[in-house]
Structure 1
Amino acid sequence: MYSGLLIILIPLIVGYLLPKNAALITMVNKVLSWMVYIILFFMGISLAFLDNLVHNLLSIVQYCLVSAACILLCNLLALRLLENRRPWQHNHRLEVLPSRLQMALESLKLCGVVVLGFVTGLSHWGPLSYASTASEYALLFLLFLVGVQLRGSGMTLKQIVLNRRGMIVAFMVFMSALVGGVIAALMLNLPLRTGLAMASGFGWYSLSGIMMSGAFGPVIGSAAFFNDLLRELMAIMFIPALISRHRSTALGLCGATSMDFTLPVLQRSGGMEIVPAAIVHGFILSLLAPVLIAFFAA
């Protein structure tokens, strides 16, 4: 499991080790925006190929919505408490604040790309079955580009690897998610270990869907998949609105994906100075996710 984490970090490090080049940085900034859409499209295709999507659909929707609501609500309350006690001081300021309508349209555009991928995947055309693999390679390339951006920003490795704010936010997300998992299990009349396992994906839908299906069956596994996928989509939608005044909440909402998929969204909205905290936050939750799911599923 942890070899996958190493694979995630390697392209980031390789990109960081490249020498600074202004022309390269300019090109990377343009390509990064397109990579977000490409990965979302592949995500939608993969969703269409998910097993047991139609069978027991109502149970899947119920488990997904209740667990997601409980977990995210507990996360948001904990992160709000953190912001009240320990405000995040930062220097980043958006030059032009987008309107709420613009942010809503941007979010709808991103969700629309997922829907387009899903509709395309329903054709079950043979080559589309490789969408999951293609999205993994696209993600690695995206991480390489983020590494190049980090190098261009002038940040040191110490700033990137050790970040106290990232650790604190990860701890708050971890603890509050487990509380939310317990509440969801009680509301859904599920064993506590099932609720705790569903809460332990932290947005890593590809991992939680596979592990939960093997341990609890396809219905719970699919619900876990959609639960974590919903978290990622909500992070994409709400990061631009939260990042200025509720920085810890914007980061915590990303869960484990702040180290990879939602990292460019965080960087684009919050500036390069949020990247070290995002990497540490995502790395800690990515380490915890497989261990906790395996523990509660044992």
Structure 2
Amino acid sequence: MYSGLLIILLPLIIGYLIPLKSKSLIMAINRLLSWMVYVILFFMGISLAFLDNLSTNLVLIFKYASVLFLCIFLLNLLALAFLERRLPWKTTHHQETLPSRLHMALESLKLCGVVILGFLLGLTQWHFLTYASLGSEYALIFLLALVGIQLRNSGMTLRQIVLNRRGMIVAIVVAVSALAGGAIASLLLSLPLKTGLAMASGYGWYSLSGIVLTDSFGPVIGSAAFFNDLARELCAIMLIPTLVRSSRSSALGLCGATSMDFTLPVLQRSGGLDMVPPAIVHGFLLSLIAPVLMAFFSS
């Protein structure tokens, strides 16, 4: 299994070293990255169907995901509320009319549909489907290289990251409190501490956490991490418009790594243009450390 730290970090670093000047090529990379996510989640669903004692393991996945989500989500909320009290984030922005949050939630749930389709196909137990696990390992390496390219060409410079104090502080608070939540969840679930910390290191990046942890710990832990991070994004979409009025730090922090892409439009419309730079920095930093921490705790 490609669970070693080097195997995960090497394609990420190689991708990060590739500068792209063509906007059309960058857009093509982004589209390819989206398709690769669907492919690998499909493989994950197939692998899930080949588990021994399937019904028992499905109950375990639900249990792990539920406990992990509650621990991380509650600790994130408490830590971010404390941050907002100590360092209030004031603004004069008036909230805009938002697009349908139900529509955005359904877009996220498409990923669940892909996993379910793979799972249903895997239930046929056709022999050639046993290669899905190997295929997902090679696809993971390719996906990490694409992620590295995307981060390099996101337009963020080191100077911009360092200067945006709010984005950095919120990212640090989210990162630390999520790991604390993962540690508590590991105790409640009687899992090894490193497993709980690895599951907490996705920071809402469900398209990567499920893949990496399935490769390292198997389909049960990987699927639990995927559903935990997906639930985080869905809750963020629903809560941002309300939270941004009382705690802008909480509205940003709950988005996790998705604040630089999927949830960015909701943050911008709810919190104004001054939410955009911190959101991009926050998402960039969490996207950068998530694969590193997952690799470290999985090695």
CA distance in 2, matches of 1:177, 1:285: 11
Q: Given that residues 101 and 238 in structure 2 are in contact (C-alpha distance below 8 angstroms), is that contact kept between their aligned partners in structure 1?
A: yes
Q: Given that residues 95 and 269 in structure 2 are in contact (C-alpha distance below 8 angstroms), is that contact kept between their aligned partners in structure 1?
A: no
CA distance in 2, matches of 1:12, 1:70: 40
**What is the RMSD computed on CA atoms of the aligned residues?**
4.3
Structure 2 spans left out of the alignment, 5+ residues:
1-8, 24-33, 122-131, 133-138
Q: What corresponds to 1:179 in structure 2?
A: 180
Deviation at 1:273, TM superposition (A): 1.4
Q: What corresponds to 2:26 in structure 1?
A: none
C-alpha distance after superposition, 1:236-286 (max 9, x if no partner): 222222222221111101111112222222223222211110111111112
SS of the aligned residue for 1:196 comes to helix
1:297–1:262 Cα change, 3 Å: same
Q: Given that residues 179 and 201 in structure 2 are in contact (C-alpha distance below 8 angstroms), is that contact kept between their aligned partners in structure 1?
A: yes
Name the aligned partner's letter for residue 78 of structure 2.
L
Q: What corresponds to 2:6 in structure 1?
A: none
1:187–1:112 Cα change, 3 Å: closer
Name the aligned partner's letter for residue 233 of structure 2.
E
1:221–1:123 Cα change, 3 Å: closer
SS of the aligned residue for 1:244 comes to helix
Q: What corresponds to 1:240 in structure 2?
A: 241
Deviation at 1:59, TM superposition (A): 1.1
Q: Given that residues 71 and 177 in structure 1 are in contact (C-alpha distance below 8 angstroms), is that contact kept between their aligned partners in structure 2?
A: yes
Q: What TM-score, normalized by structure 2, do the two folds share?
A: 0.69
SS of the aligned residue for 2:254 comes to helix
Q: Which segment drifts farther, 281-290 or 52-61?
A: 52-61
Matches within 5 A, 1:274-285: 274-285=275-286
Q: Given that residues 46 and 121 in structure 1 are in contact (C-alpha distance below 8 angstroms), is that contact kept between their aligned partners in structure 2?
A: no
Structure 1 spans left out of the alignment, 5+ residues:
16-38, 151-155
C-alpha distance after superposition, 1:172-219 (max 9, x if no partner): 101111110111001101011111111111111222222212221221
Deviation at 1:158, TM superposition (A): 6.2
1:5–1:272 Cα change, 3 Å: farther
CA distance in 2, matches of 1:84, 1:227: 27
Q: What corresponds to 1:188 in structure 2?
A: 189
Q: What corresponds to 1:58 in structure 2?
A: 59
Identity value in percent: 55
Q: What corresponds to 1:82 in structure 2?
A: 83
Is 2:261 the partner of 1:260?
yes
CA distance in 2, matches of 1:92, 1:7: 38
SS of the aligned residue for 2:255 comes to helix
Aligned length: 263
Deviation at 1:63, TM superposition (A): 0.7
Q: Given that residues 70 and 184 in structure 1 are in contact (C-alpha distance below 8 angstroms), is that contact kept between their aligned partners in structure 2?
A: yes
Matches within 5 A, 1:51-200: 51-54=46-49, 55=54, 56-95=57-96, 105=102, 110=107, 162-200=163-201
Name the aligned partner's letter for residue 282 of structure 1.
G
C-alpha distance after superposition, 1:30-63 (max 9, x if no partner): xxxxxxxxx7x99789755533445321111111
Deviation at 1:65, TM superposition (A): 0.9
Q: Which segment drifts farther, 57-66 or 266-275?
A: 266-275
Name the aligned partner's letter for residue 284 of structure 2.
F
Q: What TM-score, normalized by structure 1, do the two folds share?
A: 0.69
1:177–1:119 Cα change, 3 Å: closer
